[in-house]
């Protein structure tokens, strides 16, 4: 039973270390993250404009 616990603990430590290292690499360049967020905002605005245009056109075809 102690071998099983030791293996489980070793795997947990490895996974925890990997998660910390992966998360640490994301925060090294905050300007890249800011640029990505800005690009996502532009994408959302473009999507919203297209959605509203399509919705308005579909309503125009339904009404006599």
| Chain segment 1-13, per-residue pLDDT in tens | 799 999 999 999 9
Instruction: Give me the residue spans of the domains in the chain.
Output: 2-62
Listed in sequence order, the residues at least 6 apart from 54 whose beta carbon sits closer than 8 Å to its beta carbon are none
Cα gap 13→2, rounded to integer Å: 16
Helix (H) or strand (E) holding 38: helix 30-62
| Chain segment 21-62, per-residue pLDDT in tens | 887 766 556 666 677 777 788 889 999 999 999 999 888 877
pTM: 0.41
């Amino acid at each position: 039973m102690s071998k099983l616990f030791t293996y489980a603990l070793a795997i947990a430590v490895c996974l925890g270390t990997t998660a910390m290292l992966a998360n640490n690499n994301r925060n090294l360049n905050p300007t890249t993250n800011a640029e990505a967020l800005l690009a996502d905002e532009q994408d959302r605005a473009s999507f919203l404009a297209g959605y509203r245009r399509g919705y308005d056109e579909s309503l125009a075809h339904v009404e006599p």
